[in-house]
Amino acid sequence: MTPQAQPDQAFFRPADAEKYLGIKKTKLRDLTETDPTFPRKIRLSPRCVGWTRAQLDAWLESKAKAVQE
């Protein structure tokens, strides 16, 4: 069982990022492959990738601003 993504978590693995963003695995994969505004993955090792909270928050903020304009 994976621990619940915490808002103060420093590094989000894909499963944690899905929970934090409120999306499913397929949508996360789609964003990473097709959305140039989505942050690039940080590779800690060959099998460990993820994003920082700051990266995800900045992306969410940019999406919110785009909706307001």
> What is the overall mean pLDDT for the chain?
90
69 vs 44, higher pLDDT: 44
Contact 15, 6 (CB under 8 A): no
Q: Is the confidence at residue 50, as pLDDT, over 60?
A: yes
Label residue 12 exposed, middle or buried (CB < 10 Å: 0-12, 13-18, 19+).
buried
Q: Please state the rounded mean pLDDT for residues 35-61.
A: 96
DSSP label at residue 38 = S
CB atoms within 10 A of CB 66: 9
Tell me what pLDDT residue 62 has.
Answer: 95
- Region label for 22, one of left (φ > 0), alpha (ψ between -120 and 50) or beta (otherwise): left
Tens of pLDDT, residues 7-39 = 578 999 999 999 999 999 999 999 999 999 999
Q: Is the confidence at residue 3, as pLDDT, over 70?
A: no
